Amino acid sequence: MTVPGRADARHNHARVLEAAREAFAEEGPSATLDTVARRAGVGAGTVYRRFPSKEALLAAVVNDRLDRLVDELAAPASGDPGAAFFAVFERAVSQVALNKALCESMSSATGISPGVRDRFLAALAPLLANAQRSGAVRPDVTAADVTGLIAGCAAMEHAAATPGRSTAIVLDGLRTSVTKSNETRCAECGTPIAPTATGRPARYCGNACRQRAHRRRHTPA
C-alpha cells in the first residue's frame, strides 16, 4: 500500500527537479530557487527542504543531465571509427549548447561530480582511441582535451552567426593532415561533406545552408 504522504513527497521531488532542469537550461546557474519553486508550483520551503542550497540543486541537475549524455554517447555508432568519433563530438556539442547550466559547468567543471566526469571521459576514450588508430584523428589528443573542446564549442555556438561553423573549424584541427586533404567541406558552414559516388561534388551540407547562401546572394547590401 502506498503511503499518501510519501507519494506526494516523491511527486514534489520530481516536479522540483524537472522545474530546475528547465530553469537552469534556459537561464544557467543564475536561476534562483524562487524561480524553480514557481515553475514547480510549490513553495520555496519545499525546494529548500530537499536541497539545502542552489548549488546543491544545480549540481544534482547538471550531474543527471551529464549522466544521460554519457548514456547517449555510449549508444552504437557508425562502423567507421573516424566518422563515429566526429558524430559523437558534434552530438555532444549540440546537447551541451542547448543547456546553459551544463555548458557553463562543463567549461569550469564546477558542480560536476568526479564519478560523472570519469564516466564521461571513459565513454570518450575508446571512441577517440579507435579514431586515432584509424588515422582520422591526431595522435596527440587526449580524452580530457576533447572534453574541453566540447565545452568550448558549445559556448561558441551560443553566439555563432553561422551555427556549426565554430565546431567545424575545431574538428578540422583534430583531423590528421591526410584526412583534411581528402575532404570536401560545406561552402556555407564548413561541415565535412561525404563524397558522392557519381555526379558533381556537393557544395553544401544540406538544404538549410543552401538556402542561407541563396538568401545572402540575393539580398541587397
Per the CB < 8 A criterion, the answer to whether 147 and 108 are in contact is no
pLDDT of residue 120: 84
CA gap 175, 156 in Å, rounded: 20
pLDDT of residue 1: 39
Average pLDDT (87-111) is 77
Percent with pLDDT over 90 in the chain: 9
95 grid coordinates: 546537447
CA gap 33, 63 in Å, rounded: 18
pLDDT of residue 92: 85
Selected residue with higher pLDDT from 54 and 142:
142
Full-model pTM: 0.64
Per the CB < 8 A criterion, the answer to whether 138 and 145 are in contact is no
Q: Supply the DSSP symbol for 137.
A: B
Q: Each residue of 1-17: pLDDT tens digit?
A: 333 456 677 777 888 88
Per the CB < 8 A criterion, the answer to whether 162 and 188 are in contact is yes
Q: Supply the DSSP symbol for 134.
A: T
